[in-house]
Amino acid sequence: MSSLFTKNRLIGLAIAVMVCAADQYIKWLVRVPLELREKGVIELIPFFDLRWTQNFGVSLGMFEATSVEMRWILVLVTALIAVVVAIWMMREKAMGDILGLALILGGALGNIYDRYTWGYVIDYADLHIGEFRPFLIFNVADAAITIGVLIILARSFFLRDSEEDTPKDAEAASPETN
């Protein structure tokens, strides 16, 4: 059991908890003290606003929950995905992979909590250039998930090959194999 909770995995779990907590804290700030729901939009700087959005779907607003049953199906499906990510993270050894998975897990937990509590995910970060919006309105959880996925993809495309090549090269150069 102690090999399950290595230092890197415990750090990963702590990162997931911190991401979820930060996400929920900022959502509380926009909901309660800033009253973003009532105001609709708070213009901060020319290219970034806080804009109240209720996302009833999942990634990119797909699979929108149009009924109570669909809401609970989305909660269940996303919770199952979070469990798979948590298991995957607890099997990883490399801190880079654990970091990416922790960001994904923390973000997923933040959005699952919203969907469970409110029936939708609260989105508020509106990055834009004039009327052009290169991204959908998002939140900390969405950003963490995106960054986590990019870390996992980058590591799988760029680092796995070099890590796999290293032992072979080391064996070939080893005097014991010659």
Residues forming the active site: 123, 142
Rounded Cα–Cα distance for residues 32 and 81 (Å): 30
Rounded Cα–Cα distance for residues 125 and 68 (Å): 26
**CA-wise closest residue to 107 among 67, 154, 152, 50:** 152
Enumerate residues 6+ apart whose C-beta is below 8 A from 121. Answer: 54, 55, 56, 111, 114, 115, 139, 141
- The dihedrals phi and psi of 49, each to the nearest 5 degrees, come to -125, 160
Enumerate residues 6+ apart whose C-beta is below 8 A from 17. Answer: 106
Asked if residue 53 lies in contact with residue 69, where contact means CB atoms within 8 angstroms, the answer is no
Compute the CA torsion angle 56, 61, 62, 63 (nearest 10 deg).
0
Structure tokens, 83: 């469990």
